[in-house]
Structures are given as C-alpha cells and as structure tokens.
Amino acid sequence: MKYCCYCSAELVYDIPSDDNRHRHICQSCDIVHYQNPKIVAGCIPVWEDKILLCKRAIEPRLGYWTLPAGFMEMGESTLEAGIRETLEEANARVEVEDLYAVFNLPYVDQVYMMYRSRLLDLDFSAGVESLEVKLFKEDEIPWDELAYATIRETLKLYLEDKKAGKFQLHTGDVIKNNSRYDFIETLI
C-alpha cells in the first residue's frame, strides 16, 4: 500500500502506538490500514475410488493439476466458497461431507480450507479457469504435475485416511524452505 484510500495521503509503514506489528498508517487522517491473510476454500470431490482434479488454465501454475479451490468472496462462508469454486472450475456439483484440512501458508499470507465431498453425478466439465477436468484413481494421480504443496499434502493425507478407514480433520503449516515446501501437522 502506498496511499490512503480515505484521504489519498501517502502512507508510512510503522508500528502504531497501541500495537506490536508494522502497519500502513495514514498520518493525515490517522487511519491504520490492516492487512490480513486471504482464505482459499475448495473441495476434494470424490466419485467411488476416484478424485476429481482440474488442470489450471490460468497463472500461476498454468497447466498443472489441482483440486478445485480459490479465494473466498465477500459475503460467503468457507463452505459456500468451496462449493462455488468446485462449480466454477469443474462444473461439478458436490455434497460436502466435512471440513477436512486447514493449512496455514504464512509465506504467502493465505489459509487453505479444504472440504471432503462427494460428486452428485458425473456431469462435470472444464470451467473457464480449467483446461481439463478428470477423475483419477490413486495410482493415476499426476504427483509431479500438481500445482501446489497444499494440494499434494491434502491428497496424501486423504489417501492415507481412506486406507485407514477413518477421516479426520488435519491442520498444520506449510513452510517454504528455499525451493522446498515442508508440512508441519498440528495435532488437535
């Protein structure tokens, strides 16, 4: 941020007197501009023993596979966002079973919330943000072509839970170490 959206004065980046973090501050109208992480919500759409993935038609990670997910919009819940993103990216209708994963990504100021869901039918197709959508069995998942560490970790945990016959909520942090991403699970 460079200018105040209320008075157009130039902002300073400093710690307000009653705070402990750097913020963008307007010294003209005394407004503190708070910036908070963005929430990404999505689904793990399943049909029998297959998972629906989308090949991205947009940057970042154009041409890589992902679960249908995206930024939450104003006025919607994370559940509504996950269902909407699944419909937008895969033209797929789902019934959500439960919240499955909550991952913090402090290096990009995001929080991912993924819902375990069941496809209502096989009438799906690529949405405007997808080049292709496809159902994958576990041994067909293109692990080397997945767009994000969060997607890889979500799928890995989902398949482990499926084998164990018990699904649980997973929480943790994805930490970037140079060009590698590490997942540190938080046990609740």
What is residue 179's predicted lDDT score, i.e. its pLDDT? 85
Answer whether 88's CB lies under 8 Å from 75's CB: no
Q: What is the pTM of this model?
A: 0.90
Contact of 153 with 183, CB cutoff 8 Å: yes
Q: What share of the chain is helix, strand, coil (3-state, %, to 5)?
A: 20, 40, 40
66 and 109 share one domain: yes
Question: What is the extent of the structural domain holding 86?
Answer: 38-186
Q: Same domain for 119 and 168?
A: yes
Q: Report yes or no: 101 and 169 within 8 Å, Cβ to Cβ.
A: yes
For position 188, what pLDDT does the model report?
Answer: 67
Whether 10 and 89 map to the same domain: the answer is no
pLDDT average per 10 residues of sequence, the chain (188 residues) = 95 94 94 94 98 97 98 98 98 98 96 98 97 98 97 97 97 92 87
Residue in the structure block whose two tokens are 């994963």: 101
Domain co-membership, 22 together with 91: no
Whether 170 and 140 map to the same domain: the answer is: yes
Classify 49 as helix, strand or coil: coil
> Nearest-5° angle of CA 166, CA 184, CA 94?
45
Shared domain for 70 and 51, answered yes or no, is yes
pLDDT tens column, 120-138: 999 999 999 999 999 999 9
Q: Identify the CATH number of the domain in which residue 26 sits.
A: 2.20.70.10
CA–CA distances in Å: residue 188 to residues 12, 26, 102:
40, 40, 12
